[in-house]
Amino acid sequence: MTTGADTRTGPYLELFAGRGAGGPVGARRQQAIERFEAAGFPGSRDEEWRQTNLGPILRARPVPASGQVLGDGGALPFLYPDCDSMVFVNGRYAPAASSPPEGVTAFSLADPAGAGADLLAEHLGASVDGRASCSADAGVHPFAALNTALFEDGVALGIPAGAALERPIQVLWLSAPSADAAAAEGGAQASIEVSFPRLLVVAGENSQASVIETFAAADPAAGGYFVCPAAEFVCGAGSVVRHTRLQADAAGAFHLGFQHARVDRSAAFDSSSLAFGGALVRNDTVALLDGEGADCTLDGLYVLDGSQFTGNHMRVEHRQPHTTSHQLYKGVLDGQARSVFNGRIYVHQAAQKTDAKQTNRNLLLSKAALANSNPQLEIFADDVRCTHGSTIGRLDEEALFYLRARGIGFEEAHGMLVHAFAREVTDKATFEPLRRDLEARLFASLNGVRSNGQGG
C-alpha cells in the first residue's frame, strides 16, 4: 500500500481505536479491522473497483453519524402496513418506532443476550472472516470488513426451523445527518457522517421469511452522508428467504453496500435490489450455492439521472450439483448518469447440472448516459447450462411511433415504454404495499427523468 492509502485508511482505523472490540464478536471485529488495514482501500488499478470513483468519500473525514434524533412518527412515512418492523436511525436501533416480529429471535446487535449472543457468535461475520468465504480470488471486501469492525448496531433475525412467517419484516435504515456536517464544506477537510448498518438473517431449516430493507433519508434533501451497510443471509436447508433491498437515499448520499448469502441444500434465496437514490452507490452481492439443489434469484433495477453512479457487482458461486441461479438486472439512465454491472458466475468442478442465467439490460435515455456491462462466466464443470447476455440500448423508436400514431402524446408514450421496461423487475414484488411503493417511486423517478431528459 502506498502512503496515500494510509492517509485514507487512517481516519477509519481511528474510529475503530476509539470504539474498542468487545462483545460476542469482539475477536472477529479485531480480525476484520486487521484485514482492512492490510488490504487498504482499493486503488484505481483494482479491477473490481477501478470504475468506482471513491474519491469524494475518501477525501472527507468520517465522523460517526449521530446527528438528529428522529421525532415521534418520523419513520412512519417509510413503513409499510401489515408488516413487522425494526427501525434504525443513523445506524442506531429506535425501539419506540419499531414493532419487532414475534416468534423470531430478533434483536438489536448493540444489546445481544442469551440466544442472540449465540447466533452472533456462530454466524456474524462468517462472510468476511473466511468461514463462508468465496474462492480465493475473491479477496477481502474492504467495506464489508469495515462494517464488521465498525458497526455500532444492527439487527439479527433468527427464523426458527420450520417456521413460515406470514408477515414480511421491514428493516428501515434511516439516515438523518446533522445540518452542520453538510455545512462543513470549504474547511480544511470536509467531514462526512458515516453509518454501518448490519443485518444478519439466519433462516432455520425449512423456514420461510421475507425481509425488506429500506435505505432512506429522513430529509430527502439531506446533504452528503455515507452509509456502508452489510447484510448476511444464512439460508438453511429447504428454507425460502425473500429479500428486498430498496435504496432510496438522499440525492447527495454515498452508499457502498455488501450482501452475502449462503444457500444450503434445496433452499432458495430470492433477492431484489431496487436503486433509486444516492450520488454514488454500489451494491456488491455474493451468493454461495452451497448445497445440492440450492437456488438463488437476484433481480435488480436502477433508475438514474443527473450525475448519479450505481454499480452492481455480483458473484454467484455454484459449489454443488443441481444448483440454479437467475439474475436479471435492468437499468434506466438519463442525464450524465453512469452504471456498472459486473456479474461473475463461478461454477465449481463439483457443480454438475448447474443452471445459471444472467441478464443485464440497460436503457439509455440521453446521449451522455453511460452503462457498462461485464458479464463473466468461469466454468470448471462440464455438464452445465450457463447463459448470459447484456444489452445497452435506447428507447425503441418504432414502438414510440406506434404509440404516437394511436394518439398517445410523446411524453406519455415515452413514459409508458420506460415503465414497461422497468416493471419486469418491480412486478416481481408480491407484497402489495411494497409493489405499490415501487410503482410510485418508479413513476416519480421517470417523471423526473422525462422532464429533464426529453431533449425535444
Partner 1 sequence: MLRVSDLHAKVEEQEILKGVDLEVKAGEVHAVMGPNGSGKSTLAQVLAGKEDYEITAGSLELDGEDLQEMAPEERAHAGLFLAFQYPVEIPGVGNSYFLKAAVNANRKARGESELDAMDFLKLLRERATLVDVDEALLRRPVNDGFSGGEKKRNEILQMAVLEPRLAVLDETDSGLDIDALKTVAAGVNALRAENRAFVVITHYQRLLNYIVPDHVHVLLDGRIVRSGGSELAHELEEKGYGGFDGARAEA
Which of 20, 26, 393, 409 touches partner 1 (CB under 8 A)?
Answer: 409
Calculate ∠ Cα 76-82-84, nearest 5°. Answer: 70
- Residue 350 in contact with partner 1, rule: CB under 8 A: no
The residue type at 69? V
Which of 18, 22, 77, 407 touches partner 1 (CB under 8 A)?
Answer: 407
- Residue 417 in contact with partner 1, rule: CB under 8 A: yes
Minimum Å gap between C-beta 390 and partner 1 is: 17
For 80, the grid coordinates are 409499510
Minimum Å gap between C-beta 447 and partner 1 is: 16
Kindly indicate which of the ranges 18-26, 278-286, 291-299, 406-414 contains the residues binding partner 1, using the contact rule CB under 8 A. Answer: 406-414
Q: Which element (helix H / strand E) includes 261?
A: strand 254-263
- Residue 443 in contact with partner 1, rule: CB under 8 A: no
Calculate ∠ Cα 300-149-40, nearest 5°. Answer: 80
Which of 59, 396, 444, 447 touches partner 1 (CB under 8 A)?
Answer: 396
- Residue 19 in contact with partner 1, rule: CB under 8 A: no
For 134, the grid coordinates are 468465496
Kindly indicate which of the ranges 125-133, 297-305, 336-344, 420-428 contains the residues binding partner 1, using the contact rule CB under 8 A. Answer: 420-428
| Residues 283 and 309 sit within 8 Å (Cβ to Cβ) | no
Closest CA to 230 of 216, 209, 213: 213
- Residue 45 in contact with partner 1, rule: CB under 8 A: no
The residue type at 257? G
The residue type at 334? D
For 159, the grid coordinates are 427464523
Kindly indicate which of the ranges 106-114, 155-163, 303-311, 415-423 contains the residues binding partner 1, using the contact rule CB under 8 A. Answer: 415-423
Grid cell 502506498 is found at: 2
The residue type at 224? G
- Residue 403 in contact with partner 1, rule: CB under 8 A: yes
Kindly indicate which of the ranges 169-177, 210-218, 367-375, 399-407 contains the residues binding partner 1, using the contact rule CB under 8 A. Answer: 399-407
Between CA 30 and CA 228 the distance in angstroms is 18
Minimum Å gap between C-beta 427 and partner 1 is: 9
- Residue 161 in contact with partner 1, rule: CB under 8 A: no
Minimum Å gap between C-beta 375 and partner 1 is: 21
E-strand spans in 129-253? 154-159, 169-175, 191-195, 198-203, 208-217, 225-227, 230-235, 240-248
Between CA 47 and CA 239 the distance in angstroms is 35
What is the DSSP-derived secondary structure letter of residue 431? S
- Residue 395 in contact with partner 1, rule: CB under 8 A: no
Which of 118, 402, 440, 444 touches partner 1 (CB under 8 A)?
Answer: 402
Minimum Å gap between C-beta 299 and partner 1 is: 15
Minimum Å gap between C-beta 355 and partner 1 is: 23
What residue ranges bind partner 1 (CB under 8 A)?
396, 398-399, 401-410, 412-413, 416-417, 419-421, 423-424
